[in-house]
A and B are shown apart, each in its own frame.
Chain A
Amino acid sequence: MRTYTYLLICLIGLSLLPQDSLAQDRKKVKRDAKNMEFYNAVVDVNDKSFDVTTAHEAWKNESYVLLAINTYINVGSKKGQLRGINRKRVLLQDQNAVELFTEFYFQDSETILITLTKKNGEEIEINTKDAIKVTTEVPSVYSSRFQSSQSYKFAIPNIEIGDIVDFTTIYSQDFGGILSYADALSDSEPILHQNITIDIDRKWDIYRKTFNTDAIFEFGKGKGHAFDGSPDIEMNRFSLTTANLEASSDENWENVYEVEPIIKFVGISQTFKSYYFGNNRARDSLDVSAILNKVVKNIQADEAYYDPLTNSVLGKVKNTVTKTDQPKVKADACYYYLREFMNERFYPSKAIKSIKSGTETYESIYGDFTSMEEMVFLTLFTSMLRDFKVETEVVALLADRMGDLSNAVTLNELYFGIYVPSCDTYYWPMNKNSTHLDMPYEIMSGAKGKGMLDTKDKKLENKPKSRMVPPVTADHNKEKNVMSFSFNITDYTTKIKKQMTATGYQKKNYKSFIEEFGDNMFLDFLTMYNDRDIKDELEDYKTKSAKDKKGVYEDFVEKSDKKMSDAFKSWIEEKDTKTDLLTFETISSGRSSDQPDLKVEAEYTTDGLLKKLGPNLIFDIGKNIGGQVFIEEKSKTGRKHDIFMGAARLYEYQMEVEIPEGYFIENIESLHKSVTSEYISFKSTAVIEGNKLKVNTYKSYDKPKAPKSAWNDIVKVIDEAYKFSQEKVILKKKS
């Protein structure tokens, strides 16, 4: 009787559970069973690398060691689905590792197996059935590789130092017909043994390459498994093995593309071959010409979808464009207008829907919407310029730091843009919120690649031309600060007037100051949003009187101004000091051809620069040139890798300090510094003229990279700039 009652209660309980939940559970059980079948068929349980229990003595101070990693990917299906298994064996060497692994996260979409091996060899299988659903708070250490929004967490019991955690995740995943896989082989902790195996249909085109490592993908013809795990001669196998990988390098200013062991592997199914990859098989770089050819064809084919938008924009810029014959003026006018709308919420909905219903979709190529924006830009821009009789080329370039164009293996490494030969200018897709503002991407300086003419003339033999973005000089990327200082010696505050001008890439540091819209953009801005709330708002806005409309816009501008001045204030504010921003004004936005430089002016007071020192005063002059790089003693010698300093650029400060009445400055020798090298230099001068101390500093990074042999010279410059940043001036009380 008792049993029946219990069963009845269970049944009632079950019936109360949401049906969705039950269905999901059933689905999960089925999926797990299928995944386990796959695991049993594919995984070599006798893999000796997973029997290892100790790490090298040299790694004893590491928090943990990855004793073995096995990454297996199977791309045998033509359904656009892959299956994968990741195995890791981790030796926990300190309490931090124990804490880290105690709380374990995984994704809803994967089957997970965990075994804990105690020091005495006892193996404990960890039950993950009681894992807790997580909607937020996945630590970044896990979330960095998570795709599905739903994840679970559980606490692994009984973990101690010296234990080994073996965990395996088995998953399947949809993808768009291109397997695009690129990563570093090394990790933040050392790896004793690592294997990556990819089984892939032999009809697929394969691009593969490794960098900064001797490891290569070995080719095993017909040695792979089918999608169900069974051996299949139709499946080729690519396998790469490494051992004894130290933890990732952590030198300052290193170019990871030249330092870290990197693998790139791309597989393209036949379905997508015609799009970008032609018929070349098993290559180790992309056929950029074929890709460009297809991009040009695609954007021409798609431009009709954008006609309503293109026409609208054409109308906006027509006045400017028709008044000039200069291609650059025409191109700039179109570009600056378009750029305002290149953001993630921009959906030219009708066009997108049309594309989505087509057989050849951008999404299937790029896999995400962000990338499609790039193509939207290319399409709109070329189409508009064609209307204005300006010839364009679509360019695909590889960043200089990634080396030669032949290094390009994955499509995402290429940057697409428009080159206008008649004015020798490159235009890049970048949205309003981009850090790059109107300038090319910083990393595109010196980028090499190819360009293909946007032409519909079938008679013309449209061969791609080699293109290279001219490397920029330091002068191009300049930040100049003109500052004047006066003191209140009653409350020891300093009043500062500052004018900052940034050109080129330097503008990107200040994008928060210049997020405003021009008034002609406001209504368009509202129009372009595909947000229901905003659309309601727009409808409401349209019904308002002219006066009320102005009011709404003014509110918008006021809010925008406040945001900018708040951003500026937080930029100038030092920790534990009191700063009052008195005025702030954007003189030049740096976002259009008639205002190419960013120029802001501000006046503010701070209590952080002047201090009383006995009868005298001390002024922190060095602080005003911004934080300078500090290189630790131990990093000054034994440089292992070439030095990658980013874009050539310079920083200039002109400071004028009003010496208060009754005070004088005795020594300014230490403010004179001058160290130069072929790659970087720092100079400072100081002079007293009347009651003014005038100090100028100039720091330039003349080349983006330098050989490691130049490290000593570079360190000397960096050190000197750092020393200047620590300089103080004594204002002595006249006796």
Chain B
Amino acid sequence: MLYHSNLKVISYYINYFTQAKTMRFPFCHSFILLFLLLQYPSEIIGRNTSDNETFTIISSKQKISFSIEKKLLKAKLETDEKIQCNVKTGEYFRKYMYFDNTSSIKEVAINGVDIRPIITDDFPRSGIFHSDSKLLYVDHRFNTKIKDIEIFTEKEFDDFKFIDLLKFQLYSYAVTYSEITIEIPNWLECDLQKFNFEGQNITTSVEEKSKSKIYTFILQNIPTDLTLKAVPDSRVYQPHIMLLPKKMEVDDKMVALLPDINSLYGWYNSLANEIGNDRSVLVSLVGDITRDKTTQLDKIKAIYYYIQNNIKYVAFEHGIMGFKPESCQNVLKNKFGDCKGMANLAKEMLQIIGVDARLTWLGTDGSPYNYDYPSVYVDNHMICTIVLDGEYIFLDPTEKHNDLFAYANRIQGREVLIQDGDKFIKSIVPNQDKDKHLSQYDLHMRMEGSLLKGEGNLLMKGNSKTSYASFIQSSGEKNKDKAINYLLGNNDNNFSATTTQIQVMPSRDEDFHLKYELVADNQILVSGQEKYINLEFERPLGNMVIEDKRNCDYYHGYKQYEQSNIHLQIPPQHTVKYLPPSITETNELGSFHFGYEVKENKILYSKNIVLNKTQIPVKSFDTWKKMIKQLNEFYDDRIILEVAK
């Protein structure tokens, strides 16, 4: 469409479809508000006039207290912050808070004057179409006259399950003094679960009063957040406190709140029991889908893949629907649902064919919590578990291209609560063997003038296959060739990759093979009688560089198992003068081998990468940095062939 400013397009000519489509990866966040409380969406919280050093939080005091209203436990969080602007020119400071239908913001005051904040119920967040969470914010512009301000806020929680996690650092700015005070009345039994306190100089004190105990935690001189890539969920590394109200005394009776995981499950299960599934509307469809399937396993696959193919991920997380799955009949009718709705539909359809299928709660990879803590903060996802021949199979219908036995990285190794009537089964999604997500290729190259040309055979399994499938599908049929070139040519103009293979979309139940041809330009350098040849076209892991002052894990989000062999035919009259020395490294993160060798009249460059972790923990940084430095030097190096005179 026209895009030049001097030909203004007026609005009443509708062009809905002028923009290029973007790739969409379904990413399932249930219970989004809880997640948002700790994940700052930078689009909202940052005004672009300031960087992390523009302000200092010279004092941050948070105080939480409890009360009983109509026999229900309520909490109040008062926050008093003093903010200093570090530059003399005007800058905007944005105070922001989240709330939903279980909480409310009662007051926002700056320097003692009540402020009417801006409230928005629709703000950028990954994957959620709509939720009841709301963002409140207020901008204060510092000027040359006043250098610091005091902001007071009061937030009330009507439901104790959703009391905020208490963090010492609420923004990315440095904090001089941060104090969290929790007053637990004698009628309330409440655990204070501390996270990431180790290595932090947090002073803790307890003051016993006649009717309550006051816990005070102080942390001083918290540095500015660094601008980092691949940052994990801040709950993984920032010190914070989770409140776990267990029991309270009302009218001389002890009332259970969420004393343990049984009660948390009990609440979840009660919601699941209220879904109102009408399985009868599924029967005919299930019959159609499974009609020509003879084994139970084939029927399970047919149902699972049907949901993957036909139900889109669209998440409405309004009110209790943030926790309660949509009914199976509605999800089927709409052809969309969130993780809970899709898991519930899978469960219902599978039960029709007699499979023991159950709803299953879990927190995905990156969450620091497990079910030792009876808190709604533990989970953010729901899947469906099949019990087949005494074994569990975990189905995540939000994963569009997974086969039945391939688990996404984000659920592997995660603790799950499997529905079991009034009880539950605690289990763990297994970490899958590396072979399950192997990516392997053999590439046979030859030198033709200034070009390297060759044929390759790529094998993909598990997650490597599903990532590929997502990309190909999102590219569309029209752009299929471009997508193949993009993937196999490493998005580098020096490479041109083509395939004559008709079927380029993998099927779920088979390993995927792709035969292709590759032409590489600018990989041969000539200097005198020597030719310098680059056979490393991808530089895997090479960009995973740990920043100097990084203080949190490096979260890359995937495991990797790659085996590659690149063979280069040595042309006549050429001899091998130099091969870069091999690298072999085995450490707590995996094993890595990169090496060249001459075999008959070929140079074989082999790569073997096993990366077992989805994140590089801080304690492994030295190991990782050393390896990546060595690896990048290896990648920069080249084979040297000498041409006979």
Name A's B-contacting residues (CB within 8 A).
Answer: 60-64, 66, 71, 73, 82, 84, 86, 88, 94-96, 98-100, 102-103, 132-137, 139-142, 144-147, 153, 155, 157-160, 169, 171, 173, 180-184, 186-189, 248, 256-257, 260, 262, 399, 402, 410, 412-413, 415, 443, 533-534, 536-537, 540-541, 544, 551-552, 555-556, 559, 575-576, 611-615, 618, 630, 633, 666-667, 670, 722-723, 726, 728, 730, 732
Contacts and interface: CB of A to CB of B under 8 A. Distances in A.
Interface in B5-56: 6-21, 24, 43-44
Interface residues of B, number: 72
B317 to A, nearest CB: 12
B526 A142 contact: no
Contacts of B580: 614
Contact of A157 (B21, B143, B334): B334
A306 to B, nearest CB: 26
Contact of B477 (A61, A399, A413, A615): A61
Contacts of A100: 17, 21
B334 A155 contact: yes
Nearest to B539: A576
A633 B496 contact: yes
Interface stretch (B115-123, B157-165, B264-272, B433-441): B115-123
Contacts of B88: 551-552, 555-556
Contacts of A157: 333-336
Contact of B122 (A135, A181, A723, A726): A135
A88 B18 CA distance: 14
B536 to A, nearest CB: 12
29 contacts: A71-B12, A86-B12, A96-B473, A102-B336, A103-B129, A136-B122, A145-B13, A153-B129, A155-B314, A181-B10, A183-B1, A183-B2, A183-B13, A184-B2, A187-B1, A188-B1, A189-B17, A260-B2, A412-B6, A533-B143, A552-B89, A611-B633, A611-B636, A612-B633, A612-B637, A614-B638, A614-B640, A667-B526, A732-B528
Contacts of B10: 180-183
A524 B202 CA distance: 50
B196 interface: no
Nearest to B331: A157
Given A103-B129, A559-B89, A618-B532, A61 B2 contact: no
A593 B514 CA distance: 62
A393 B44 CA distance: 47
A188 B13 contact: no
A716 to B, nearest CB: 16
Contacts of A613: 532, 636-638, 640
B476 interface: yes
Contact of B14 (A86, A140, A536, A552): A86
Judged by DSSP, the binding face of A is mixed
B122 A134 contact: yes
* Minimum-distance CB pairs A-B, first 10: A611-B636, A157-B334, A555-B88, A537-B143, A730-B527, A726-B522, A630-B493, A61-B477, A540-B145, A86-B14
Contacts of B145: 536-537, 540
A454 B487 CA distance: 61
Contacts of B11: 145-147, 173
Contacts of B530: 730
B335 A158 contact: yes
Contact of B528 (A82, A615, A666): A666
Contact of B20 (A187, A188, A667): A188
Contact of A141 (B17, B24, B90, B121): B17
Contact of B16 (A95, A141, A667): A141
B130 interface: yes
Given A61-B477, A135-B123, A136-B124, A102 B528 contact: no
B197 interface: no
B144 A537 contact: yes
Contacts of B496: 633
Nearest to B118: A135
Given A96-B476, A410-B8, A730-B525, A145 B636 contact: no
Contacts of B89: 552, 555-556, 559
A108 B147 CA distance: 42
B545 interface: yes
Contacts of A537: 90, 143-145
B340 to A, nearest CB: 16
- Which of B9, B124, B521: most chain A Cβ within 10 A? B9
A137 B124 contact: yes
A6 B477 CA distance: 55
B542 A144 contact: no
Interface of B: 1-4, 6-21, 24, 43-44, 87-90, 120-124, 129-130, 141, 143-145, 310, 312, 314, 316, 333-336, 473-474, 476-478, 493-494, 496, 521-522, 525-528, 530, 532, 542-543, 545, 578, 580, 633, 636-638, 640
- Which of B13, B121, B145, B525: most chain A Cβ within 10 A? B13
Given A443-B6, A537-B143, A613-B638, 20 more contacts: A94-B477, A98-B312, A102-B312, A103-B129, A135-B123, A136-B43, A136-B44, A141-B17, A144-B19, A145-B9, A146-B11, A158-B334, A158-B335, A183-B13, A183-B15, A260-B1, A399-B6, A534-B143, A540-B144, A555-B88
B80 to A, nearest CB: 24
Nearest to B318: A132
A181 B13 contact: yes
A155 B2 CA distance: 29
Contact of A62 (B121, B312, B478, B578): B478
Nearest to A64: B17
B314 A103 contact: yes
Nearest to A182: B7
Given A536-B145, A556-B89, A135 B473 contact: no
B8 to A, nearest CB: 5
B476 A142 contact: no
A575 B492 CA distance: 14
Nearest to B14: A86
Contacts of B636: 611-613, 618
B354 to A, nearest CB: 28
Given A613-B637, A614-B640, A618-B636, A732 B14 contact: no
B28 to A, nearest CB: 15
A415 B6 contact: yes
A82 B12 CA distance: 10
Contacts of B336: 102, 155, 157
B474 A96 contact: yes
B376 to A, nearest CB: 24
A146 B144 CA distance: 39
B87 A262 contact: no
Given A552-B88, A559-B87, A413 B6 contact: yes
B534 to A, nearest CB: 10
Nearest to A615: B578
Contacts of A173: 11-12
B14 A88 contact: yes
Given A576-B543, A732-B527, A614 B637 contact: yes
Nearest to A560: B89
A144 B1 CA distance: 11
A132 B15 contact: no
A62 to B, nearest CB: 6
